[in-house]
């Protein structure tokens, strides 16, 4: 067995352990009773350490060096070896004790957050949150030394390979400046049009669930290889053969839960479409979270808020809730789904104001990591940032700094991938429609196969063979270009 073949064997074992760990995390967010939290934290910490030990085995460095001298590796094998070394570099930067402590602290913080958010009690989560941040900071500093970058960049790199603030800062500053004027233009434009007619509720949860399943199936979600459940915060998890997505429903507004399902369906399609021939190998994994969020936002924002989709979905919505009338016609539904209005909740935000929610979190988490913002001062800083960027502030922490799970579960450096993903989604959808004139008519019939086929060929099946910019360039003819995103916003909201 060559050095490279031995590496493939070891990474297959690692992948299976991580798959099991992912399902434990899914269960803790959906099914696990509160009393199981301590035992579950111990289980996950043990598995994390076992995975860490596989990557930090002293023999792995020798195998990587030997495999890099092999001259008969194909293109995919060479890329796989590159991704193996990347994972090894991250893992060997931190010790097993830190990995175990970080996993336990994240589980403990998350479980307290699950009770603190409904209770609007930021003080309850503050102590475990501070403990978690201290460990996140320790890990970031260790990885920064190893990667030769700033600590926050080391955190971004975990989610977005080679992602750096020096690239993100000008993109976000330019976008924030653009949106400052653009939002006012859109609001004025909307005011000159007929008012949006409200949809009359309440909307039974069971009916919402059936509608969500029907539309997710139309988009391409395979319930023979996946589940739809409920959780406090919508997410996607699982493995390509068994994808788990969740949402949360409101009796007063079915559009929130439905759009969350369609968003997570985009994630699921990416996972299901990854190259099966490279399953359990690093090169067979998704190419970073900006592309992953790009897939979810492409489905939710680009495709499922389009006039074509709402023409298809309108009769299904009327049937689901036994409603009819002008409010339930496609033109009103389109105005409803594209209405721009600043709100408090990121996951419910419209497409135009959404990036500002992300930019706020990006700025705050950098300040917290650097120690420039004390966690005790987070609620006030959050409210100040909301006033500055969106012109409103939450009445309580439940709809403020407690609304997202990410920080409280240790996912730092993740937030910028949402807006990078929105830009990616616009660019890919634009290229797909130009290459496939049958895509828009297909969506109008509820036939997403032409779109999913194009995404499968140009994104999903590529796995981690290419960098994000290389993949975008092959698929669209250019690397990430915010001009495409701005053009999309102007065409949709000012036309």
CB 234 within 8 A of CB 263: yes
- Please, where are the H alpha helices in 274-341? 289-297, 307-321, 330-337
Q: Are residues 141 and 212 in the same domain?
A: no
Instruction: Indicate if the pLDDT at residue 154 is higher than 90.
Output: yes
How sure is the predictor about 191, in pLDDT bands with cuts at 50, 70 and 90? very high
CA-based angle 154:405:270, to the nearest 5? 70
In this structure, what token pair is assigned to residue 8? Answer: 């493939």
Q: Has residue 362 been placed in a domain?
A: yes
CATH number at residue 458: 1.10.1370.30
CB 216 within 8 A of CB 232: no
Q: Are residues 123 and 179 in the same domain?
A: no
Domain closes at, from 148, 181, 196:
148
Number of Cβ within 10 Å of residue 202's Cβ equals: 11
In this structure, what token pair is assigned to residue 93? Answer: 């930067």
Report how many domains make up the chain.
2
Sign of CA dihedral 23, 25, 26, 30: positive
What burial class does residue 183 get, using C-beta atoms within 10 Å of its C-beta: 0-12 exposed, 13-18 middle, 19+ buried? buried
- Enter the pTM of the model: 0.95
CA distance 410 to 103: 8
Q: Are residues 46 and 133 in the same domain?
A: yes
- Please, where are the H alpha helices in 32-121? 37-56, 58-67, 75-91, 96-119
Among candidate residues 243, 232, 267, the one with its CA nearest the CA of residue 405 = 232
Q: Are residues 125 and 237 in the same domain?
A: no
Q: Are residues 466 and 345 in the same domain?
A: yes
Q: Has residue 160 been placed in a domain?
A: no
Q: Has residue 22 been placed in a domain?
A: yes
Catalytic machinery residues: 264
Q: Are residues 133 and 176 in the same domain?
A: no
CB 272 within 8 A of CB 222: yes
Q: Has residue 159 been placed in a domain?
A: no
Q: Has residue 190 been placed in a domain?
A: yes
Instruction: Indicate if the pLDDT at residue 87 is higher than 90.
Output: yes
CA distance 374 to 377: 5
For 47-77, write each residue's pLDDT tens digit: 999 999 999 999 999 999 999 999 999 999 9
Q: Are residues 141 and 171 in the same domain?
A: no
Which pLDDT score, from 0 to 100, does residue 52 have?
Answer: 96
For 292-321, write each residue's pLDDT tens digit: 999 999 999 999 999 999 999 999 999 999
Q: Are residues 330 and 472 in the same domain?
A: yes
Q: Supply the DSSP string of 139-203, one letter for each residue.
A: HHHHHHHHHTS-HHHHHHHHHSTT--HHHHHHHHHHHHHHHHHHHHHHHHHHHTSPPPPPPP---
């Amino acid at each position: 067995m060559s050095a490279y073949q031995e590496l493939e064997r070891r990474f297959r074992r690692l992948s299976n352990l991580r798959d099991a760990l992912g399902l434990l995390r899914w269960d803790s967010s959906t099914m696990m009773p509160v009393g199981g939290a301590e035992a579950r934290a111990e289980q996950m910490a043990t598995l994390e350490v076992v995975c860490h030990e596989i990557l930090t085995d002293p023999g792995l460095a020798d195998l990587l060096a030997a495999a890099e001298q092999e001259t008969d590796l194909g293109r995919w094998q060479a890329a796989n070896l590159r991704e193996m070394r990347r994972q090894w570099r991250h893992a060997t930067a931190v010790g097993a004790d830190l990995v175990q402590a970080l996993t336990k602290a994240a589980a403990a913080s998350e479980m307290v957050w699950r009770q603190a958010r409904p209770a609007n009690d930021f003080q309850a989560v503050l102590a475990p949150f501070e403990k978690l941040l201290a460990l996140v900071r320790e890990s970031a500093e260790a990885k920064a030394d190893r990667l030769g970058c700033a600590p926050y960049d080391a955190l971004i790199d975990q989610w977005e390979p080679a992602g750096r603030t020096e690239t993100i800062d000008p993109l976000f500053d330019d976008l924030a400046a653009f949106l400052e004027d653009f939002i006012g233009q859109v609001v004025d434009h909307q005011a000159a049009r007929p008012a949006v007619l409200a949809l009359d509720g309440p909307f039974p949860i069971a009916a919402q669930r059936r509608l969500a399943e029907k539309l997710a199936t139309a988009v391409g979600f395979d319930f023979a290889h996946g589940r739809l459940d409920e959780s406090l915060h919508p997410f996607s998890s699982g493995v390509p053969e068994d994808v788990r997505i969740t949402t949360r429903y409101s009796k007063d507004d079915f559009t929130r839960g439905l759009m969350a399902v369609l968003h997570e369906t985009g994630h699921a399609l990416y996972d299901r479409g990854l190259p099966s021939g490279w399953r359990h190998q690093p090169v067979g994994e998704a190419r970073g979270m900006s592309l992953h969020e790009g897939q979810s936002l492409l489905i939710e924002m680009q495709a499922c808020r389009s006039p074509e989709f709402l023409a298809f979905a309108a009769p299904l919505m009327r049937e689901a809730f036994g409603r009819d009338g002008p409010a339930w016609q496609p033109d009103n539904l389109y105005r409803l789904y594209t209405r721009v209005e600043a709100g408090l909740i990121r996951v419910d935000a419209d497409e135009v104001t959404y990036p500002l929610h992300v930019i706020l979190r990006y700025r705050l988490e950098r300040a917290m990591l650097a120690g420039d913002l004390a966690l005790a001062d987070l609620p006030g800083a959050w409210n100040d940032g909301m006033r500055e960027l969106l012109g409103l502030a939450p009445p309580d922490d439940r709809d403020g700094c407690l609304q997202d799970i990410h920080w409280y579960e240790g996912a730092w450096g993740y937030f910028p991938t949402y807006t990078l993903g929105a830009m990616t989604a616009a660019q890919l959808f634009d290229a797909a429609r130009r290459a496939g004139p049958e895509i828009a008519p297909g969506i109008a019939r509820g036939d997403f196969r032409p779109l999913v086929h194009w995404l499968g060929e140009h994104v999903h099946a590529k796995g981690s063979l290419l960098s994000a910019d290389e993949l975008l360039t092959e698929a669209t003819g250019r690397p990430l270009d915010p001009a495409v995103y701005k053009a999309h916003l102007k065409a949709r909201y000012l036309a």
